[in-house]
Copies of this chain bind each other. A is one copy, B any other.
Amino acid sequence: MLYLYDGGLKVADILKEWYEQELENNYGAYIPFVGTVRSEDGIDGLSFDIYEPILESWFDSWQEKAKAKGAILKMAHARGDVMLHESSYVSAVFSPKRRVALEFIDEFVEAFKASAPIWKYDLKDGKRIYAKDRSTAIEGSGILGEKR
């Protein structure tokens, strides 16, 4: 239940589709997180590269963690350019109980920011500039740079 789209996400359609998919499955709590491109630093938008093979296995491992708590995860992300006030990211947790859902959406979104293989660029003055300062090295990075 990982969905990738070219360009900005159709958020209302995604939230509706996910809600309807799980409506009969007896989950008491549904918590989506929607990320939308903000106007700051004069950007025209953001752009994303995704490495899909590792994103898929990364997502599967989180789906297993959710399952162990009786919950499920869904996630959608944009590929390529996403302009101001468009949305690039939606994820959601469904759980029988609210505490699990409230804690898991937080844990998942933070892990996503720190480790999902997605690269962000600012679109500014016709250029695509890697958002280096807002990026996080994946845990275990640097082994190829060790002094020998």
Contacts and interface: CB of A to CB of B under 8 A. Distances in A.
Contacts of A31: 31-34, 105
Contact of A12 (B12, B103, B110): B12
Nearest to A40: B26
Nearest to A88: B28
B16 A34 contact: no
Nearest to A29: B35
Contacts of A85: 23-24, 26
A138 to B, nearest CB: 19
A19 B15 CA distance: 10
Given A12-B12, A102-B106, A33 B29 contact: yes
Contacts of A27: 36, 38
Interface of A: 11-12, 15-16, 19-20, 23-24, 26-39, 85, 96, 98, 101-103, 105-106, 109-110, 113
19 contacts: A12-B12, A12-B20, A15-B15, A23-B85, A26-B85, A28-B35, A28-B38, A29-B34, A29-B35, A29-B36, A30-B32, A31-B31, A31-B33, A31-B34, A32-B32, A33-B98, A102-B105, A103-B106, A106-B106
